[in-house]
Copies of this chain bind each other. A is one copy, B any other.
Amino acid sequence: MDIKYAILGFLSWKPMSGYDLKKVMTSSTSCYWTGNNNQIYTSLIQLQKEGLVFSEIQNQEKLPVRKVYTVTEKGFEGFRAWLLSPPEAPVLRNFFLVQLAWGDRLDASELRNLLISYENEIGTQLMMLNETKKRGLLINPARTAREKYLWDRVTENQIGFYENEFRWAQKTREELDKSYS
C-alpha cells in the first residue's frame, strides 16, 4: 500500500483526521488516489498498528467525534527512509493507444473523429487539472521557497504530460489527414 506514504506525508505536515485527509487528497495534485474512505481509514488503522502514527480523540460539541492522527518519531524515520528510496518508474496506461493500434479497421472520417474525441478528452483533463491546481494552492504547505517550488514542479509535470499528449494527438490527426485520406 503506497498510499500509506502519501498519508504519512500529509500527516507529517500537520496532524489530521481521516476526514481531513480525504479532503486534502482529493484537492491535491501531488496525490493520485481518489481519497476513498476504505483506503484512508484502513491505512490509518494499520499505520497506528505499526507505530508510525498515534491518534487522539477530540470531542466536539454539536459535531461528531474526530480522531486526529499524528506522526510518531518512528513514523518520521520511516517516511524519511522512503523519501530516500530509489523511485519507481511512472506507470502509464493509455487505453486509447489500444484503440488506435487497431484503428485501421475504421475509415478516414471515423479515425479522425476518434482522434478529435481524444483531443477533447485531454482538453477536459487539462481543465480539471487546472481546477485542482487552483484549489491545491490553498493546501500547498510551502513552508520554504524550495517546498513551494517542488509542489509547482509536480503540477507542471502533470500539465506537461497532458500538453505533450495533446500535441501528439494533433500531429497524428494532421498526418492522417495529409497522407491517408
A103:B121 contact, CB within 8 angstroms? no
Q: Whose C-beta in chain B lies nearest to the C-beta of A106?
A: B83
* Docked pose: A179 CA to B124 CA in angstroms: 34
A89:B125 contact, CB within 8 angstroms? yes
Identify which of A15-23, A44-52, A159-167 touches chain B. Answer: A159-167
Cβ-neighbour of A87 out of B31, B117, B153, B154 (below 8 A)? B117
Q: Whose C-beta in chain B lies nearest to the C-beta of A82?
A: B99
Q: How large is the interface on A (under 10, 10 to 19, 20 to 34, 35 or more residues)?
A: 35 or more
Chain A interface helix/strand/loop/mixed:
helix
Query: Using Cβ atoms and an 8 Å threshold, which residues of chain B touch A82?
Result: 99
* Docked pose: A44 CA to B92 CA in angstroms: 25
B114:A87 contact, CB within 8 angstroms? yes
A153:B180 contact, CB within 8 angstroms? no
Cβ-neighbour of A100 out of B80, B102, B154, B172 (below 8 A)? B154
Q: A104-B150, A146-B180 are in contact. Are A87 and B92 (CB under 8 A)?
A: no
Query: CB of A88 within 8 A of chain B?
Result: yes
Cβ-neighbour of A102 out of B83, B93, B118 (below 8 A)? B83
What distance in Å separates the Cβ of A85 from its nearest Cβ neighbour in chain B?
8
* Docked pose: A173 CA to B170 CA in angstroms: 30
